[in-house]
Amino acid sequence: MVAWAKQGHDAAFRELVRRYERPVFSLLYRMVRDRALAEDLAQETFIKVLNGIKSYRPEFKFSSWIFKIANNAAIDHLRRKSIDTLSLDGAPNAETPEQMRATSLQLGDRAESPLDEVENRELGKAIERAIGRLRPEYKSCILLRHVEGYSYEEIAETLDLPLGTVKTYIHRARNELRGYLEDRRD
Amino acid sequence: MTDLSMHLTTDEIELWAQGLLPAARALHLADCSLCRVEADRERKVILELVQLPHFAPTAGFADRVMAQVKVPTPSDSWKI
């Protein structure tokens, strides 16, 4: 299919999108927990992959290449977001309660949009909420391992991480998930 | 040869949770409540993870992508 796409067949490009849109979108959605944003990042991923298809090296799995680009897009976004995020407790240099109140974000009674409803339904399960609490690097490893069925070696190659780091992240992620899920049951 | 009394490693517990641990090592679980509890907890979370569904983007996703992709024409490969 990739070879066919490289030769310039529109149908092959569409088939690649059809095959990978769900896994790629799902990974991104669970990483950023926002449907519209995940879709923008998925679109950005596919455009980058398909416009750069000639640079694809067949010794790597095509899916690993897509997941690598998708994961980088999510991590870049999350890094930018963490820089831009304002604390709910006010500006970092606020010292007195008055300063904190004056600079804190005021959350109104925002009505739930249809998109929020879909997100609450899709990501509302305890396991999804627990995944949402993981560090981004743990999330990508655990999702590639157990949702996509990747081996540790494939994850290491996809995410450019040493094999030992991948194992550590996955074990820690599962431990944290167990903790979150067991706290909920108690 | 592995000692039957040796506790299972994290990797072995994952293999057991997936039904892939060799029977000879899995025997350890019959005698070790520590490993059994750990393995059961691990299996529960792995089961929850592997059952997670894929989500679909909104309709027309492929069209929106294709609108921004330049499909190379076969003649492009002849250009220098």
Helix/strand/coil (H/E/C) assignment for every residue in A80-148: HHHHHCCCCCCCCCCCCHHHHHHHCCCCCCCCCCHHHHHHHHHHCCHHHHHHHCCCHHHHHHHHHHHCC
- How does pLDDT run across A97-135, given as a tens digit for each residue? 666 565 554 444 456 777 777 877 888 889 999 999 999
- Please compute the mean of the pLDDT values over residues A161-177 and round it to a whole number: 96
pLDDT confidence band for A149 (50 / 70 / 90): very high
Q: For residue A45, what pLDDT is reported?
A: 97
Q: For residue A2, what pLDDT is reported?
A: 75
Q: What percent of chain B has pLDDT over 90?
A: 71
Of A61-70, A98-107, A146-155, A170-179, the poorest mean pLDDT is in A98-107
- Report the alpha-carbon distance of residue B45 to residue B73 in Å, rounded: 48
- Identity of the amino acid at A157: E
The answer to whether the Cβ–Cβ distance between A6 and B72 falls below 8 Å is: yes
- Report the alpha-carbon distance of residue A142 to residue A132 in Å, rounded: 12
Place of tokens 């305890």: A126
**ipTM of the modeled complex:** 0.82
Asked if pLDDT for residue B80 goes beyond 50, the answer is: no
Q: For residue A64, what pLDDT is reported?
A: 94
pLDDT confidence band for B79 (50 / 70 / 90): very low
- Report the alpha-carbon distance of residue A158 to residue A152 in Å, rounded: 10
- Please compute the mean of the pLDDT values over residues A135-149 and round it to a whole number: 96
Q: Residues of B13-29 as b/e, b for ≥16 C-beta within 10 angstroms?
A: bbbbbeeebeeebbebb
Q: For residue B78, what pLDDT is reported?
A: 47
3-state DSSP assignment of residue B32: coil
Output phi, psi for A96, to 5 deg: -90, 160
Is residue A2 within 8 A of residue A53, CB to CB? The reply is yes
Around Cβ B74, how many Cβ atoms within 10 Å?
10
CA A116 to chain centre: 18
Asked if pLDDT for residue A21 goes beyond 90, the answer is: yes
- Report the alpha-carbon distance of residue B24 to residue B6 in Å, rounded: 12
The answer to whether the Cβ–Cβ distance between B62 and A21 falls below 8 Å is: yes
Q: For residue B42, what pLDDT is reported?
A: 93
Q: For residue A173, what pLDDT is reported?
A: 97
Task: Give the residue from A69, A35, A51 showing the smallest Cα distance to B67.
Answer: A51
Q: For residue A105, what pLDDT is reported?
A: 47
- How does pLDDT run across A50-102, given as a tens digit for each residue? 999 888 888 889 999 999 999 999 999 998 887 665 444 555 556 666 665 65
Is B67 within 8 Å of chain A by CB? no
CA A140 to chain centre: 6
Q: For residue A92, what pLDDT is reported?
A: 53
- How does pLDDT run across B15-40, given as a tens digit for each residue? 999 889 999 999 999 999 999 999 99
Q: Which residues of B touch A63 (CB under 8 A)?
A: none
pLDDT confidence band for A166 (50 / 70 / 90): very high
CA distance B3 to chain A (A): 24
CA B63 to chain centre: 31
CA distance B35 to chain A (A): 15
pLDDT, averaged across chain A: 86
Q: Which residue has the higher pLDDT, A186 or A115?
A: A115
Place of tokens 């944003």: A37
Is B3 within 8 Å of chain A by CB? no
Place of tokens 């799995």: A61
